[in-house]
Amino acid sequence: MLDESSSPPADKMAQVSADKRATLTLRRVARIVAVPSLFLMFGGLLAYGVGSRPFLAFGWGGLPGSAAVSLARLPGGWRASSGEAAMSLGLLALAFVPAITVGLVLRDHLRDRRWKEAAVAASVVAIMALSAVLGKR
């Protein structure tokens, strides 16, 4: 249950400390997942539009783009298929950035045995998972 009362100062300070750690988590996930996903998408876009070879995707799209472009030789012409595969993969990775962030916040709460906060974060993750499952139907 959510109460309307104020948290005691000690709890508030613990909350501030948790928020500080969550901010660092948020920044880390954005830099480690979101930025490479954008490079991957850029590589895919180049591959799709220019018909660039993997080395071009490596130069412009980064290593993930190069790997996806090299590996995803799907039917329908490698230009379109590999480029689309890289773009779709990048989009999917970007869409999962918030879920990964909340997941890591949940992990931190579980480590600190902050059960109430962990339950809240778990609920958000569960609703996001439900969204993905419902979309499949």
Partner 1 sequence: MWLTVLALAGTGIIAGMFGAMLGLGGGILLVPALTLLFGLPMRVAVGVSLIGVIATSAGVATVARPGRSADVGLALRLEIASTLGALLGSLAAGALSSEILALLFAGITLATAVYTYLKTRRRLDPAVADASEALFSIDYRPTHWPAGLSLMGLAGALSGLTGTGGGFIKVPVMYSLMDVPLGVATTSSNFMVGITAAASALLYYSRGDIYPLVAVPTAIGVFVGALAGVRMAARLRVEALRKMLIVLLVLVALQMAWKGLHGG
Phi first, then psi, for residue 103 (nearest 5°) are -60, -40
Chain contacts with partner 1 (rule: CB under 8 A): 2-7, 12-13, 15-16, 18-20, 22-24, 26-27, 29-31, 34-35, 38, 41-42, 44-45, 48-49, 84, 87-88, 90-92, 94-99, 101-102, 105, 117, 120-121, 123-124, 127-128, 130-132, 134-136
Residue 55 C-beta: closest distance to partner 1, Å = 21
Nearer to partner 1, 4 or 113 (CB): 4
3-state secondary structure 37-96: HHHHHHHHHHHHHHCCCHHHHHHHHHHHHHHHHHHCCCCCCHHHHHHHHHHHHHHHHHHC
Residue 70 C-beta: closest distance to partner 1, Å = 19
Residue 113 C-beta: closest distance to partner 1, Å = 15
The answer to whether the beta carbons of residues 57 and 95 sit under 8 Å apart is no
Nearer to partner 1, 75 or 134 (CB): 134
